[in-house]
């Protein structure tokens, strides 16, 4: 499956997907990586890996519709089958989302539906929750909404700062995004209604996770 990866900043999830695609058994490849930010650090990551990368600067367009049209055309010209938002800091128009319905994924650094939007880790620490994590979901019109493919839980430590929590969640993101894309590319994760059904998924044998751990 040909992927189009959209990013705006450091490109750490882009890097994780590049590494995953090096495996000959991985059922996807990155056809193009696109950034709306000409100064994004992820551009160098893509170039170093020999991945085709293109900058489509949103500031050069008069409105969201024209920007999204250019984005859409570039993805289609590259033969993209699945769009993967990887730290892409733009709200996409309904037309774009509709065109890529059930063919666009996003990764968000929380256990959705909790903590949608920006400044997630700050709000997690302020709230006092014991668990946070990351979620991969299909994109819908509403921000951080859509059928969930996969989630991973990450403990919040008593002495966490935004920086330490961000780093711990990122490690989990870099594992779960390639896994979720594999499920979609293999045809094992399918949207039915507004839920994702995963072929061959069995009930977890791990049991409940307690934080703090019970004696």
**Residues assigned a catalytic role:** 108
What is the rounded (10 degree) CA torsion for 42, 17, 74, 146? Answer: -110
Strand order in the sheet with 131-138: 53-55, 29-35, 2-7, 82-85, 104-108, 131-138, 148-155
For 90, phi then psi, to 5°, come to: -135, 140
Q: What angle do CA 122, 124, 110 make, to 5 degrees?
A: 110
Burial of residue 48, with CB atoms counted within 10 A of its CB: 0-12 exposed, 13-18 middle, 19 or more buried: exposed
């Amino acid at each position: 499956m040909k992927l189009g990866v959209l990013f705006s900043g450091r490109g750490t999830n882009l890097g994780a997907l590049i590494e995953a695609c090096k495996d000959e058994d991985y059922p996807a490849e990155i056809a193009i990586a696109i950034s709306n930010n000409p100064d994004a650090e992820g551009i160098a990551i893509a170039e170093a890996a020999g991945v085709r990368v293109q900058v489509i600067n949103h500031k050069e367009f008069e409105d969201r519709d024209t920007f999204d049209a250019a984005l859409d055309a570039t993805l289609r010209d590259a033969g993209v089958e699945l769009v993967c938002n990887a730290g892409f800091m733009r709200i996409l128009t309904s037309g774009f989302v509709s065109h890529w319905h059930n063919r666009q994924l996003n990764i968000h650094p929380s256990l959705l539906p909790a903590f949608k939007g920006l400044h997630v880790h700050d709000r997690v620490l302020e709230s006092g929750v014991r668990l946070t994590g990351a979620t991969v979901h299909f994109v819908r019109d509403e921000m951080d909404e859509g059928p969930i493919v996969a989630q991973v839980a990450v403990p919040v430590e008593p002495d966490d700062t935004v920086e330490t929590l961000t780093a711990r969640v990122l490690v989990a993101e870099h594992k779960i995004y390639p896994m979720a894309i594999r499920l979609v590319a293999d045809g094992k994760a399918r949207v039915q209604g507004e839920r994702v059904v995963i072929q061959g998924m069995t009930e977890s044998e791990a049991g409940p996770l307690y934080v703090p751990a019970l004696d």
